[in-house]
Amino acid sequence: MELIPTALLLPVMYERISRIFPDKPWLKVVRKYEEAQRGFSLRTGQLEVENWFAFGLTRWDRQECMADSDANWIRTVEAILLANRIAAWCEKLRGGLSGPHGLEKRFQGALKNPADMQALHFELYVAETLLKKQCQIHWPESAGADGTFDLLVTRHKDSLRSSLNASRLPVTKAHALPCMTASDC
């Protein structure tokens, strides 16, 4: 099996998220920040760090990055890799498979709020980790803000069920989850 370097797949990954969101809402978010921060370059730098995802995708779209060890390149690659995962989930949902409800709308909202993007990123990470461990994941129709859980997790070996709010999971509780620590879920 021949491996393809990630850098060669980045254009395909960016095209994938662009097909899901053809209006490229990250461009609008960055443009808004840039217009509001004219003359305050240090504030723009802080916004870039906080909104790494939107700025990373925008840098790629504008062809403003070079393949090197620069921090901008690293954030751009990380943004495209996450965008590819989000696009994959969106495609699954459009195909009728189970997954996080309202993901496309949540993604667009998260572009404007770094804390929401971090929560979405973590929720997908937790779900993907548990799925790799053979857990069953159920997403409720409405989750999160009203105090309900994000994920209902069922461990296959003993049918143990756990509900968790992955977007707000404290680090100390992550170690206590049976599916997260078991060698086989």
List the domain boundaries for the chain: 1-98, 113-185
pLDDT in tens, 131-179: 898 888 888 775 445 555 677 888 777 777 777 776 655 444 444 444 4
pLDDT confidence band for 42 (50 / 70 / 90):
low
The number of C-alpha atoms within 13 Å of 122 and in the hemisphere containing its C-beta is 16
110 to 68, 92, 127, 139, 182: CA distances (angstroms): 28, 20, 18, 18, 31
**What gap in Å lies between CA 37 and CA 137, rounded to an integer?**
42
The rounded mean pLDDT for the chain is 81
Residue 53 has pLDDT above 70, yes or no: yes
